[in-house]
Amino acid sequence: MKVLIVGSGGREHAIAFACAKSPKVDKIYCAPGNAGIAQIAECVPIGAMEFDKLVDFAKSNAIDLTVIGMDDPLVGGIVDVFEKEGLRVFGPRKNAAILEGSKAFSKELMRKYNIPTAAYETFTSADDACRYLETADYPIVLKADGLALGKGVIICNTKDEAMAGVKTLMTDKQFGDAGNTIVIEEFMTGPEVSVLSFVDGNTIKIMSSAQDHKRAKDGDQGLNTGGMGNFSPSPFYTPEVDKFCKEHIYQATVDAMKAEGRPFKGVIFFGLMLTPKGPKVLEYNARFGDPEAQVVLPRMKNDIIDVFEACIDGTLDKIDLQFEDNACVCVVLASDGYPVAYEKGKLITGFENFDGKDDYFCFHAGTKLTDEGIVTNGGRVLGITALGKDLKEARAKAYEATEWIQFENKYMRHDIGKAIDEA
């Protein structure tokens, strides 16, 4: 079969890698892809938001399955466009992708169906938000309602910081229209865990847990990023947490979406906070996380194509989803200055060090192939990833492999997985 993957980051490279392992797949295309994906797929110069062009490509190349990696096209309704043309596509429809597309919607859904989450209020006026902040308890969290590349969240320790945050989001429009509505919610404490799941509208199957590192600098300092590294499984995701979430969060979310006439098919990403009062939902995403996909998919035993098709066909209950009894760690190599200002076009060397090594992976995120060779083309450049028998071994191997790659202005955090030692 022929598969088309839509997106251009490390997540899409991990999806392409998983698809390439399937004996059912003869040919993979990726739009627009990157230099790493180009080694296992044919990259086509079509943007993720060019729906008509993507549909035309899928039709003219007899694509059997299209997999949507990115949030923007999902929230924009790409799945509906493909389905209307009779094309098989993996991902939620527009009315279900709102689970990620609007923080206000997802918070209201959780309130309505008693799914545990932080207390919150929603505002469409900066003045109203500021009035609320006058009497609020601190710390407090401000969230842009719409998509902001994982960066539209501001934690405020004081009233002054919160007032400045409202200005950033609503008045200055740092994240564009994403900040037209904001959610202000209570600050929760505890380990943060990411749990990805496959959903077919009715049934949900949980993938292995993971843990992200959002901040740019060591010690969880600096600005929020798309994610600087990840590990799987999370030692904080205990059998007790799993049991609670299965009873109160996972199936409840799927059932709630169905009850609202928004049946969800695809991947639901549960961002959880393990608070002293029990697990609560921080946020939902309507797709694989990045770099969660890079640490979860290499551990999955199943043929990913079987799972994608079961989600589309509503037969996920027949899939026995299994993961290896091992661990995986991903360390992101970024361009120095990310997520604010950074230079692109730096030559990258050392890829050959990964050749023939089955337990090391170099997932490309922001790269581009030029006449000179592969160069940096984004803030997050590569996801250096390794498997090990346990988290400590995987972490040691991942950091070892970060030394195999060189480029000018290479930057990374040195404490990815530090929480492993404390669990």
The C-alpha atoms of residue 20 and residue 27 are separated, in whole angstroms, by 8
Identify whether 102 is part of a domain: no
Sign of the dihedral through C-alpha 72, 97, 24, 197: positive
Banded pLDDT at 421 (limits 50, 70, 90): confident
User: How much is the pLDDT for 153?
Assistant: 86
| Domain termination site, one of 250, 284, 318 | 318
| Domain termination site, one of 186, 208, 229 | 186
What CATH number did the domain enclosing 77 receive? 3.40.50.20
| Domain termination site, one of 134, 151, 186 | 186
Instruction: Verify that 268 and 202 share a domain, yes or no.
Output: yes
Residue 419 reports pLDDT greater than 90: no
Identify whether 173 is part of a domain: yes
Identify whether 348 is part of a domain: yes
User: How much is the pLDDT for 145?
Assistant: 84
Q: What are phi and psi of 85, to 5 degrees?
A: -90, 10
Range of the domain at 178: 119-186
Against a cut of 0.95, is the pTM above it? Answer: no
Instruction: Verify that 334 and 415 share a domain, yes or no.
Output: yes
In degrees, to the nearest 5, what angle opens at C-alpha 281 toward C-alphas 101 and 419?
115
Identify whether 336 is part of a domain: yes
Of all residues in the chain, what percent carry a pLDDT higher than 90?
88
The C-alpha atoms of residue 92 and residue 109 are separated, in whole angstroms, by 17
Which of 128-137, 172-181, 272-281, 410-419 is the least confident region? 172-181
Instruction: Verify that 302 and 333 share a domain, yes or no.
Output: no
Which tops the pLDDT comparison, 203 or 180?
203
Rg (CA), the chain: 21
Instruction: Verify that 198 and 286 share a domain, yes or no.
Output: yes
Which tops the pLDDT comparison, 147 or 108?
108
Banded pLDDT at 150 (limits 50, 70, 90): low
User: Of all helices (H) and strands (E), which one includes residue 422?
Assistant: helix 419-422
CB atoms within 10 A of CB 172: 11
Measured between its terminal Cα atoms, the distance across the chain in Å is 44
Identify whether 337 is part of a domain: yes
User: How much is the pLDDT for 423?
Assistant: 62
Structure tokens at 369: 């192939």
